[in-house]
Amino acid sequence: MTQDDNKALYEARPWTKWYAEGVLPDVEVEKKSVVDTFNENTERWKDKTAVVFYGRKMSYRELRDQADRFAAALHDLGIRKGDRVALLLLNSPQFIIAYMGALKAGATITAISPVYVSPEIKYQLEDSGARMIVCQDILYDNVGKSGVKLDAVILSSITEYLPPLKKFLGSSVLRAVYQKMAAPPVDIYEKEGVYRFQDLIKKYPPNPPKIEFNINEDLVTLPYTGGTTGKPKGAMITHYNFAAARQLASRFWGEIVQEGKEVVVAYLPFYHIYGQAVVMLGGLNEGYTLVLLTTPNPDDILDVIERHKATVFYSVPALYEYLREYEKTNRVNWKHIKVLISGADALLEDTARGWEKRTGARIHEGWGMTETTSVGIVNPYGRAKIGSFGVPMPGTVAAILDAASDRFLPIGEIGELVFRGPNVIKGYWRQPEHTKEVFVEIDGETWLRTGDLARMDEEGYFYFYDRKKDMIKYKGLQVFAREVEEVITSHPQVKEAGVIGVPDPEVGERVKAIVVLESEARRRVSEEEITKYCAGKLASYMVPKIIEFRGEVPKTDIGKVSRRELREEDL
């Protein structure tokens, strides 16, 4: 087949036949700002519960009132359209209020991971040019140590929105999680430019400034991504990108989930684009009730699912894997939840099948990136294929390219996944060269290079193999780290594994596996047993030549095995 023939296979969008009844293949994006959408929805559902925070309920009306007050405060403190405001907050009502309040003041958000240390915080604050930060009081120490000069620091306590009987409990829980953290002394508020979040909410009326948004150009947020190679980059996500993401998701699920009627467990961190775009903004846009959790404690998650009768559950493979073996998982009737979604990492087939066997419910795996505003490809409801991350959503197109030649590959061949749609970012903040590297133009169409190696089957479903940078080259042969990890973790005595390539002048790279055994198997299962197990399931060149047992493998803050850290440790 010719290059044009291969391209035509993808452009024909064979996946649209699997959309739910009534779902159209194309979407005309409604050009509406995040602020306008929030205002309309908080008016429409004003008396409905928007947020539940450890028993404290907030209506959409109250959420809107507090965001308007915070916007007025930021405007009075000097924030103007286009300024950047940083958020260093745990999942809490304050995150939503500060986020929407800053947008209403015309600012662009840059949310920082709560697990970052001072150098990482310093880099993001300086690179984004943030003028102010809204910070959890117990996380302020790392901000202070960063030495970055800010116009204002606004500190918030987790107890501010907790019911009276849970205020002490809230503080003690966070002390257990963030053991070395403590709120700064009260005399910090005597310093110029340091404010209490609640003081500002109480001081200002709900009169936000009037801001005119350029939907296509104005930025909502600058999430930082791509830290696996060099410094992280700020992804420029516009109001148009968020409008597109909202409509793609709502159209794709059709009548399966309903406006104003769903309850979502919001434990995924809001600073991360998955939690921010899909759970927080996605939920508020649809009038859902968000049950917020500051930390991903399995018992808390199971409790709120049961107590609040959650109907939609967004999670990550690491939690599904944990819960499928957890003794208390059966407390929840998982078949009563409308949709179970997995994202942010590849879902191992062993996890998916084990989960379905344990709970009787199927997980719908999806794919998205910061660069696609977290949405892009997902399994259709009721037709999820285990092993596949699904089909492109309405209004988008995905394809497989030969990364070396930028030629479209036939169905079934493995290459780089490329993607286009209205949810794709405009580029990286002050990084024109990196922006050029991540986009490719073919026949007048601009595609996002995802860096993921994948293939498409005859029905239009896509399958993930590995990140391009994680592929191992052994004597010129390609070894997919994820494929080896999946085989190793299928061993009944293996808890988890990470696979990397170790440089070797004779063969290029040797396959190394870092293996975590189940507690009862430690010192009983040998390296030779793991090697023999792999030899029966993998080609000889894919079998790990080096096995290292550990008590744990390093992970990212959303539960992925951090191969970058494993490579750095090996070097």
What residue spans of 16-87 are helical by DSSP H? Answer: 34-44, 60-76
For residues 154-182, give the mean pLDDT.
70
Distance CA 25, CA 18 (A): 10
Tokens 């606004």 map to which residue?
154
| pLDDT number for residue 227 | 45
Q: Which residues contact 186 (CB under 8 A, 6 or more apart)?
A: none
Asked if pLDDT for residue 373 goes beyond 70, the answer is: yes
Which string of b and e fits 59-83 if b means at least 16 CB within 10 Å?
Answer: bbebbbbbbbbbbbbbbebebeeeb
Distance CA 531, CA 33 (A): 55
Type of residue found at 328:
K
Average model confidence (pLDDT) across the chain: 92
Distance CA 262, CA 2 (A): 47
Tokens 């107590």 map to which residue?
307
Backbone angles phi, psi at 46, to 5 degrees: -55, -35
Q: Domain 3-30+230-466 is in which class?
A: alpha beta
Asked if pLDDT for residue 171 goes beyond 60, the answer is: no
Distance CA 402, CA 68 (A): 50
Asked if pLDDT for residue 178 goes beyond 70, the answer is: no
- Let me know if domain 58-212 sits in CATH 3.30.530.20: no
Classify 478 as helix, strand or coil. Answer: strand
**DSSP strands (E only) in 171-218:** 194-196
Tokens of 27: 């979407």
Task: Give residue-wise pLDDT tens across range 474-519.
Answer: 888 889 888 899 999 999 999 999 999 998 888 889 999 999 999 8
Tokens 């596996």 map to which residue?
513
Distance CA 501, CA 510 (A): 5
pTM of model > 0.85: yes
User: Quick one: fold of 472-570?
Assistant: GMP Synthetase; Chain A, domain 3 (3.30.300)
What residue spans of 386-456 are helical by DSSP H? Answer: 432-438
| pLDDT number for residue 180 | 60
Q: Work out the pLDDT band at 78, boundaries 50, 70, 90.
A: very high
Asked if pLDDT for residue 426 goes beyond 60, the answer is: yes
| pLDDT number for residue 451 | 93
Task: Give residue-wise pLDDT tens across range 443-479.
Answer: 999 999 999 999 999 999 999 998 888 889 888 888 9
What's the DSSP call for residue 22?
T
The domains of the chain are located at 3-30+230-466, 58-212, 472-570
Task: Give residue-wise pLDDT tens across range 222-251.
Answer: 999 874 446 899 999 999 999 999 999 888
> Which of 110, 146, 114 lies closest to 128, judged by CA?
110
Q: What percent of the chain has pLDDT over 70?
A: 96
Contact assessment for residue 15 and residue 378, using Cβ atoms and an 8 Å cutoff? no
Q: Which residues contact 122 (CB under 8 A, 6 or more apart)?
A: 146, 147, 148
Task: Give residue-wise pLDDT tens across range 306-322.
Answer: 999 999 999 999 899 99
For residues 87-92, give the mean pLDDT.
97
Tokens of 107: 């600012």
Asked if pLDDT for residue 325 goes beyond 70, the answer is: yes
> Which of 445, 395, 438 lies closest to 417, judged by CA?
438
| pLDDT number for residue 484 | 93
Q: Work out the pLDDT band at 176, boundaries 50, 70, 90.
A: low
Classify 51 as helix, strand or coil. Answer: strand
Task: Give residue-wise pLDDT tens across range 327-340.
Answer: 999 999 999 999 99
For residues 63-90, give the mean pLDDT.
98
Look at phi and psi of residue 460 and say left if phi exceeds 0, alpha if psi is from -120 to 50, else beta: left
Q: Work out the pLDDT band at 266, boundaries 50, 70, 90.
A: very high
Q: Which sign, positive or negative, has the C-alpha torsion 542, 548, 552, 557?
A: negative
Type of residue found at 60:
Y
Q: Work out the pLDDT band at 523, boundaries 50, 70, 90.
A: confident
Distance CA 313, CA 288 (A): 12
Backbone angles phi, psi at 368, to 5 degrees: -165, 170
Q: Work out the pLDDT band at 556, boundaries 50, 70, 90.
A: confident
| pLDDT number for residue 276 | 97
Q: What angle do CA 66, 314, 16 make, to 5 degrees?
A: 115
**Widest pairwise Cα distance in the chain:** 73
Q: Work out the pLDDT band at 181, boundaries 50, 70, 90.
A: low
Same fold, 3-30+230-466 and 58-212: yes
Asked if pLDDT for residue 168 goes beyond 60, the answer is: no
For 231-298, give the DSSP string: S-EEB-EEHHHHHHHHHHHHHHHTTSS-TTT-EEEE-S-TTSHIIIIIIIIHHHHTTPEEEE-SS--H
Contact assessment for residue 511 and residue 540, using Cβ atoms and an 8 Å cutoff? no
Classify 338 as helix, strand or coil. Answer: coil
Asked if pLDDT for residue 535 goes beyond 70, the answer is: yes
Q: Is residue 242 exposed (0-12), middle (13-18) or buried (19+ Cβ within 10 Å)? A: buried
